[in-house]
Structure formats: structure tokens, C-alpha cells
Amino acid sequence: MKIGTILVAEYIEGADKLLRLEVDFGPKEKRSDMEAEAAIEGERDIRQILSGIREYYSPEQLIGEQCPFVTNLEPRTLRGLVSNGMILAVKSPDGGAILLHPERPTEAGSMLS
């Protein structure tokens, strides 16, 4: 799990529960020698993540926010779009979603421990 910074948040046409997020997870990690050779210096790990939080948060509320995400999931296709992770939230007393946040700003890509 890593902290990500939400760069883009937008509605998905025809999806009443989903939001499309573009999330920055810091510098791209090189997992192999081939990836290291192909990597561009300073390249960021920006991922598209779809989340069912539309009824609790507007896109405007999310842009610039830092939240924890599960980043080691297999990609999943929803409504024809690929999601590459999952935002973490807790259930509110009324059944809604409450997003988690670091106490103070931190580097995108910071690992949770």
C-alpha cells in the first residue's frame, strides 16, 4: 500500500457510482534490467484508478488530496476502463465512505507501514 496524490478526478458517463482518478505514486520503480534501460529519468508512476465513491465525494473535493491506495492488484476493467489499484476508505456510521489521509503532506509513493 502506498500514498498517492490525486491529480485528476472526474465523472464517468453512465456510471452513477464510479469516479475516474489519475493518481501520482511518485517516481516509477524499475523492476527489471529491461525496465531500467527503458525508463525515462524522472518518469512518474501515474495510474488510473476507478472508485465507487461518487455518491460521497465530488471530483473537486478529491483533486490534490493524498490517500492510501492498494497498488499491487491485478488490473481490472470496469465500464470499459482499466483500474490499476484501489483507494482505501472506512465505512461511516450512515453507510457512506470516509477516505483516509496522512496527518500531514508526504511524498507520493510513500509506503504504508
pLDDT in tens, 73-113: 999 999 999 999 999 999 999 999 999 999 999 999 999 98
**What CATH code is assigned to 2-99?**
2.40.50.140
C-alpha 99, offset from chain centre: 12
Q: What pLDDT, on a 0 to 100 scale, did the predictor assign at position 59?
A: 98
Write out pLDDT tens, residues 29-75.
Answer: 866 555 555 566 679 999 999 999 999 999 999 999 999 999 999 99
Task: Give the residue from 45, 51, 40 showing the smallest Cα distance to 4.
Answer: 45
Q: How far apart are CA 17 and CA 100, in angstroms?
A: 19
Domain boundaries of the chain, sorted by first residue: 2-99
Q: How far apart are CA 9 and CA 66, in angstroms?
A: 13
